[in-house]
Structure 1
Amino acid sequence: MNAIGLNIDKSAALAVKLNHLLSAYQVFYMNARGFHWNIKGEKFFELHLKFEELYNDFQLKIDDIAERILTLGKEPLHTYTDYLAVSVVKPVSGVSDGKTAVENILDGFQKVLLLQRELLAMAADANDEGTNALMSDYIREQEKLVWMYSAYLNRG
């Protein structure tokens, strides 16, 4: 058992997967910043603010994820080289069109939601309520955001 009473091997596996999630969030964060900075067009004011809300939220979640990895007794990744090596979200550049930016946001959410669901299952198997609660909260919030960004694109 580790310091918080969880199986050491299961905690290590969770920490690896959490590092993948951390990496995805870091790349997603930078993409959202880029969209915020570079957005142009008719919906500039609306999207500029939405992307700022998004990257501010990611900033908090990035810290939560890194601290959860530390709580499990492992070290969070902390270089962009490491992030890019394992992130399922890939860097996006040169996007100034609102529709393209929102499509990229939805793609990023789809990828982190899948990772978070994997972590939810792993956490349940490890009896890790801390990681479970974190993932449940993130999934609930992001499913609503997916609905909202999809509505913006007039998708069902």
Structure 2
Amino acid sequence: MTNQVLTQSEQALEKELNLQIANWTVLYTKLHNFHWYVKGSNFFRLHEKFEELYNEAANYIDEIAERLLAIGGRPVATLSDSLAVATLSEATGSEDANAMVESIIADFKVLGSELKHGMKIADEAEDQASGDLLLGILSTIEKHSWMLNSYLGK
């Protein structure tokens, strides 16, 4: 589809994929913030977990952007564009360790809902590959959510 005019369903998918790129970009930065500023008795455990999650976020940004390019779209590629598109919020800088974990769980809930919507849009665009990509991400963040909730004793 490169260099072609996108259909209405492809434009809708481009919008959804850009939303994911923007949100993962915000989350990537938030996870770095948490990685650097976490304090307390669980420092080492959370420091490592946040690093694992921001590395995963970086991979998702790249995978989704490359998928979008493959179908003829244009991924958001600046911080200002990402902040304008994203539905996730940046870290406040005042979170304690548990609030950091709760923030990530809340972000994963938002992402999960948006991933499911994106999968429907991908189906309407008859783009199984994009839908499968989003499904894989959804499966992973659902597992992370369960683990993070368990960490908090929920």
User: With structure 1 as the length reference, what TM-score do the two structures score?
Assistant: 0.92
Q: Offset of 1:104 from its aligned partner?
A: 0.7
Q: Distance in 2 between matches of 1:144 and 1:54?
A: 12
Q: Which residue of 2 aligns with 1:50?
A: 49
Q: Offset of 1:95 from its aligned partner?
A: 3.7
Q: Which residue of 1 aligns with 2:100?
A: 101
Q: Offset of 1:12 from its aligned partner?
A: 1.6
RMSD: 1.2
Kindly report which structure 2 residues correspond to 1:25-64, keeping only aligned pairs within 5 A, or say none: 25-64=24-63
Contact 1:35 1:95 in 2 (8 A): no
Q: Distance in 1 between matches of 2:119 and 2:89?
A: 23
1:73 aligned counterpart, secondary structure: coil
Q: Which residue of 1 aligns with 2:131?
A: 132
The count of aligned residue pairs is: 151
Q: Which residue of 1 aligns with 2:88?
A: 89
Q: Distance in 1 between matches of 2:58 and 2:80?
A: 19
1:144 aligned counterpart, secondary structure: helix
Instruction: Detail structure 1 runs of 4+ shifted over 3 Å in the superposition.
Output: none
User: With structure 2 as the length reference, what TM-score do the two structures score?
Assistant: 0.93
Deviation per CA, 1:69-102: give whole Å up to 9, x if none. Answer: 1112111111111111110111113145210100
Q: Which residue of 1 aligns with 2:74?
A: 75
Q: Distance in 2 between matches of 1:133 and 1:42?
A: 39
Larger displacement relative to structure 2 (121-130 or 49-58): 121-130
Q: Distance in 2 between matches of 1:61 and 1:16?
A: 16
Quote the sequence identity (%): 34
Structure 2: runs of 5+ lacking an equivalent: none
Which letter maps to 2:75? P
Deviation per CA, 1:58-77: give whole Å up to 9, x if none. Answer: 00110001111111211111
